[in-house]
A and B are shown apart, each in its own frame.
Chain A
Amino acid sequence: MSTSTTPRLNGPNRTGVAAARRATELGLDGSGRRGSWKGGAFRALLVLCLILAFVTLLAVIVQAFVRGLPRLDLDLITGMPSTLDRETSGMQSAIFGTIYVMAGVIVTVVPIGVSAAIYLEEFADHSRWWVRFIELNIQNLAAVPSIVFGILGLAFIVRGPLSLGPVAYAGSLTLALLVLPTVILAAREAIRAVPNSLRLGSLGLGATQWQTIWHHVLPAAVPGIVTGTILALSRAIGETAPLLLVGATVFVTYNPDGFFDGAYTVLPVQVFQWAVRPQEEFRVLAAAGIIVLLGVLLAMNSLAIWIRQRFTREL
Chain B
Amino acid sequence: MSTITRPGPVPGGRAGTGLSLRASSPRWGEKAVVGWLLLCAAFSVLVTVGIVLSLVPPTVEFFRRVAPWDFFSTDFWAPTNAGNPGFGVLRLVVGTLNVTFWALLIAIPAGLGAAIYLSEYASSRSRRVLKPVLEVLEGVPTVAYGFFAMTFVTPLLREFWPTFLPRKLGEPPGIFSAASAGLVMGVMIIPTVASISQDAMSAVPSGLRQAAYGLGSTRMQVATRVVVPAALSGIVASFVLGISRAIGETMIVLLAAGASANLTFWPNDSVLTMTTFIARTSTGDIGHGTTTYYTIFAVGALLFVMTFVMNMISIALVRRFRETYE
Contacts and interface: CB of A to CB of B under 8 A. Distances in A.
Contacts of B204: 16
A53 B29 CA distance: 52
A283 B151 contact: yes
A36 B237 CA distance: 32
Given A156-B54, A238-B139, A116 B43 contact: yes
Contacts of B44: 116, 134, 137-138, 141, 180-181, 184
A134 B41 contact: yes
B46 to A, nearest CB: 10
A210 B307 contact: no
Contacts of A45: 113
Given A63-B151, A126-B1, A240-B143, A23 B212 contact: yes
B248 A16 contact: no
A74 to B, nearest CB: 22
B130 interface: yes
Q: What bracket does the count of chain B residues touching chain A fall in?
A: 35 or more
Interface stretch (B62-70, B87-95, B277-285): B277-285
Interface of B: 1-4, 6, 8-10, 12, 23, 27, 29-30, 33-34, 36-45, 47-48, 50-51, 53-55, 58, 106, 109-114, 116-118, 121, 130, 132-137, 139-148, 150-152, 184, 187, 190-191, 194, 204, 208, 211-212, 215-226, 229-233, 241, 244-245, 247-251, 254-255, 275, 278-279, 282-283, 288, 296-297, 300, 303-304, 307-308, 310-312, 314-315, 320-321, 323-326
Given A50-B117, A116-B44, A240-B250, 4 more contacts: A8-B324, A16-B208, A23-B212, A24-B217
B320 A143 contact: no
Interface of A: 1-2, 8, 11-13, 15-20, 22-24, 26-28, 32-33, 36, 38-39, 42-43, 45-50, 52-54, 56-57, 59-60, 63-64, 67, 111-113, 115-116, 118-120, 122-126, 133-141, 143-152, 154-156, 159-160, 177, 180-181, 184, 192, 196, 203, 208-210, 231, 234-235, 237-241, 244-245, 249, 268, 271-272, 275-276, 283, 286-287, 290, 293-294, 297-298, 301, 305
Nearest to B6: A196
Given A145-B250, A238-B143, A27 B54 contact: no
Report, nearest first, the 7 A-B pairs whose CB atoms are least far apart: A145-B248, A238-B141, A49-B113, A16-B230, A155-B54, A115-B40, A119-B37
A19 B141 contact: no
Contacts of B251: 240-241, 272
Given A53-B187, A271-B147, A196 B4 contact: yes
Contacts of B249: 145
Given A60-B144, A268-B143, A287-B147, A46 B300 contact: no
B208 A53 contact: no
A53 B137 contact: yes
A33 B216 contact: yes
A140 B48 contact: yes
Contact of B212 (A24, A59, A125, A134): A24
Contacts of B218: 27, 32-33, 36, 39
